């Protein structure tokens, strides 16, 4: 009996070691893939930190695992750690490793002036909300024109987006001309507003079930995000 137990343990040791190696390889492979994508799209040169890109992919993968995305090949990242005078919106084709759009995006009126600093999920706050969203269908608003509905999927962080009428739309205060005249971009009522000339092309590209990630190194968000923790 002792010989049998010893023999069984002897057989299992390689399996345990193999399982551990496979797990590490899986993690390392994911990291390598992310790094390759990051370099291929020249995100560093365009001002997007690698850590932010990795967070976006982490959340996207969780949304894919839960079956919530209709199209996982496109990701949109808004980096609210950057000045509003920088092109801080990135629409990335993950499948073909291409940057589709890199442009300006406004934050909410009460979120900050040049830099976004304060965020809210509450109606009437006129603030931006951080976190992961899933794009829905385009609409035509009476004041905003051609726009895109977005659904906040992080409870307590951005899940009031629809109730607050937070949408993607074009605005004439999101232009280089506005920056030249005023020293910074204009601000929205909480929506991630885009340059008018790129509004429709971007919406047509990211509509119908893609991932949108709005980032800022906000401690409350990073500590409470269900998709990052």
Q: pTM of this prediction? A: 0.87
- What tens digit of pLDDT does each residue of 12-27 get? 333 333 332 222 233 3
| pLDDT recorded at residue 32 | 77
Distances (CA, A) of 136 to 30, 88, 152, 203, 211: 28, 22, 10, 10, 10
| pLDDT recorded at residue 29 | 52
| pLDDT recorded at residue 141 | 87
Residues of the chain with pLDDT under 50: 1-28
Q: Is 143 helix (H, G, I), strand (E, B) or coil?
A: coil
| pLDDT recorded at residue 30 | 65
């Amino acid at each position: 009996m002792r010989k049998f137990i010893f023999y069984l343990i002897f057989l299992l040791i390689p399996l345990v070691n193999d399982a551990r190696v496979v797990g590490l390889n899986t993690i390392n492979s994911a990291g390598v893939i992310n790094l390759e994508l990051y370099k291929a799209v020249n995100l560093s040169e365009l001002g997007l930190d690698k850590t932010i890109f990795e967070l976006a992919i982490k959340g996207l993968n969780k949304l894919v695992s839960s079956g919530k995305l209709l199209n996982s090949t496109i990701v949109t990242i808004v980096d609210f750690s950057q000045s509003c005078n920088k092109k801080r919106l990135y629409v990335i084709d993950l499948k073909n490793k291409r940057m589709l759009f890199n442009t300006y995006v406004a934050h909410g009126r009460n979120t900050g002036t040049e830099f976004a600093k304060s965020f809210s999920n509450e109606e009437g706050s006129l603030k931006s909300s951080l976190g992961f969203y899933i794009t829905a269908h385009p609409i035509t608003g009476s004041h905003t024109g051609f726009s895109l509905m977005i659904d906040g999927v992080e409870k307590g962080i951005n899940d009031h987006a629809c109730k607050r009428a937070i949408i993607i739309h074009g605005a004439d205060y999101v232009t280089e001309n506005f920056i030249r005249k005023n020293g910074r971009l204009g601000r929205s009522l909480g929506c991630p507003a885009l340059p008018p000339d790129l509004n429709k092309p971007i919406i047509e590209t990211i509509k119908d079930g893609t991932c949108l990630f709005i980032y800022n190194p906000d401690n409350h968000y990073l500590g409470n995000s269900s998709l990052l923790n």
